[in-house]
Amino acid sequence: MSLTQLNPPLPLETSKGPGWAHFVIDYGQESALLWVVFMDADGACWTVPNHEVRMVFNWTIGRRKPEASQERQLSAVPAAAAEPAETAPTRLRPVAAKLP
C-alpha cells in the first residue's frame, strides 16, 4: 500500500459532487486507486474509487464537458450520417480478483 499526498491538490468531480483530492491510496495492482477528496459543499472527507472521479472541466486546455464535445462532433457530421445511438455501452467496473 502506498499513500501519496498531492501537492497541489487536484479539483475533481466525484459521484458525491465536486471537491479537492489531497491524497491517493494505492493498494496495488489488484485494486483500484482510492482518492481522498474533501467536498466543496460541506468539507466532508470521502474516499472515492477511481472509476467515480473525473477531472474538472477546463475550457482553456481543451477539457470540455462531454455534451459540449458531442455537440461539436455532431455539427461536423452531415445530417444524414448523424443517427442517434441505440444504447450507450456498458461501463465496466473494476473487480478484485478472487484468489483460490
Per-domain boundaries in the chain: 2-74
Look up cell 444504447; give the residue: 87
Structural element, H or E, at residue 10: strand 2-14
Calculate the average pLDDT of the chain: 78
CA 28-18-20 angle, to 5 degrees, is 55
Share of the chain above pLDDT 90, in %: 49
How does residue 26 score in pLDDT terms, banded at 50, 70 and 90? very high
Peptide bond just before 8 cis, omega within 30 deg? yes
Please tell me the distance from the alpha carbon of residue 56 to that of residue 65, in angstroms, as a whole number.
Answer: 9
Task: For residues 11-37, give the mean pLDDT.
Answer: 94
Average pLDDT over residues 73-77: 51
Average pLDDT estimate for 80-99: 55
The candidate with the shortest Cα–Cα distance to 50, out of 16, 14, 18, is 14
Assess contact for 11 and 55: CB atoms under 8 A: yes
- What's the pTM? 0.61
Q: Which pLDDT band, with edges at 50, 70 and 90, does 42 fall under?
A: very high
Contact criterion met (CB below 8 Å) for 57 and 18 = no
Instruction: Check if the beta carbon of residue 18 is closer than 8 Å to that of residue 12.
Output: yes
